[in-house]
Structure 1
């Protein structure tokens, strides 16, 4: 227990729970193609200070996506990735300017609204599939990723329309998300976040994420996306509504 206590400012039991959650969410994303990052940030948002939420989540997701891409790199669509990267740079610069100007409580409301939209909103239009559309998607989702943490469902919806095979979808999605999460070290460094207090927990969750990725890739051809969809969306909706209530309270509106 002393080791678990030393991982972060959270309690030992919460640290253990988050490490186990990293296994689950990484396995889910590797097996289904997306969704684990959203589930993780919604769980983190229930127990973690708002200032640490997105940078910690981003670094954990960076490690998880590095692991997935390392295991599937032969299947990455390099044309899509190269068109995506300039947008990532633009979105990160805008996020670094905007992030420090958000009032307390706004972050929670942004995350809740974004997750509800990705669960129940319309899909991406087909015109978003070209090179210009790819750049725009890269910029917008990187900005969203820095503000709301989990832009994965939007990126996944975009990748899904461009890729035929499930391995190609997982590999290209992981490469794009790796680039996005890498920018968070810059964005939150500019905003003044100190990673040191959370570094041990981040590393433990990244290590657990590698184990989850290995497990999820073994299950890739055995699981049905439809089987998980209804329960997954219901759980995210309930977590989003609770997070929105917390945001309203911090803004003095709840």
Structure 2
């Protein structure tokens, strides 16, 4: 088992697979939130240096499957301008990554999740203009290189007004797929070795695909306001636990 799944136990593997399924289902059904949930769980299991690139692969698989399943609703203009900004951010990320100590990634992820849950993130709706889409791709792609789960920022940037749920899901999933792909390429060029993780990643991507299909079946049927309130507290508790584990190790 350990030689196939980078030394992880059966329980850890099962936890990661379940989290991938649940995170994808939540994002497909509610529009956002699954990536933050997944990275909060992964941060407690995988090494800090591997957290962001591994999360990126799983999320790329999840978003790509969601984009494929909603491809009839994709607005290519939105994706093109977002991707132009994201590409420039990827070029700058190699310089950024070399200046971040991996041991500080878990607490930064935890604090970012708490801000996503309780901080002010208005629906910017800047994705309605070419410049807005370009800036969104640039800034959120830079952020994802450090904290990973920037789905809520991309969602706020694109805005939900003026489009139906299916078009929003298609655009959001396509933008996130492109963003995660660029992140994986940057980490690969920086020297991260994905090979020991491939069997686990393959299963997590499959679990994410199944979660996406389940989530799309209940799209628009969940009581969104009540569920999102409960989900915020779950994410907050996961983030606080991550901070506590990091502080215990840091001060030991």
TM-score, structure 2 as length reference: 0.92
Q: C-alpha distance in 1, partners of 2:125/2:204?
A: 37
Stretch deviating more after TM superposition (94-103 or 32-41) = 94-103
Report 1:66-77 matches (<5 A): 66-77=64-75
What pairs up with 1:197-236 in 2 under 5 angstroms?
Answer: 197-236=196-235
Question: 1:7 maps to what in 2?
Answer: 5
Question: Which of 6, 21, 24 matches 2:22?
Answer: 24
Report deviation, 1:244. 2.8
- Could you say if the C-alpha distance between residues 232 and 126 of structure 1 is closer, same or farther in structure 2, counting changes exceeding 3 Å? closer
Return the alpha-carbon distance in structure 2 between the equivalents of residues 206 and 101 of structure 1: 30
> 2:50 matched to which residue of 1?
52
Q: Distance in 2 between matches of 1:166 and 1:127?
A: 15
The root-mean-square deviation of aligned C-alpha atoms, in Å, is 1.9
Change in Cα spacing, 1:190 to 1:95, as seen in structure 2 (3 Å) is: same
Determine helix, strand or coil for the equivalent of 2:44.
Answer: helix
Tell me: CA distance 1:163–1:51, structure 2 relative to 1, closer, same or farther (3 Å).
farther
User: Where does structure 2 lack aligned partners over 5 or more consecutive residues?
Assistant: none
Question: Does residue 87 of the first structure (1) align with residue 104 of the second (2)?
Answer: no
Runs of 4+ in 1 over 6 A off after TM superposition: none
Match status 1:132 vs 2:131? yes
Describe the superposition over 1:122-168 as per-residue Cα deviations: whole angstroms up to 9, x where unpaired: 22474734221211111111111111110001111222345521111
Tell me: CA distance 1:143–1:72, structure 2 relative to 1, closer, same or farther (3 Å). same
Whole-Å separation in 1 of the counterparts to 2:162 and 2:50: 34
Q: After superposition, what is the alpha-carbon deviation per residue over 1:165-210, rounded to whole angstroms, capped at 9, x for unaligned?
A: 1111111100000000101221111221110010110000111111
Match runs of 1:138-217 below 5 Å: 138-217=137-216
- The answer to whether the 8 Å contact 2:89/2:139 transfers is yes
From the superposition, tell whether residues 175 and 133 of structure 1 become closer, same or farther in structure 2 (CA, over 3 Å).
Answer: same
| TM-score normalised per structure 1 | 0.91
The number of residues matched between the two structures is 251
Aligned partners of 1:49, 1:179: CA distance in 2, in Å? Answer: 25
Q: Tell me, in whole angstroms, the C-alpha distance in 1 between the residues paired with 2:248 and 2:18.
A: 30
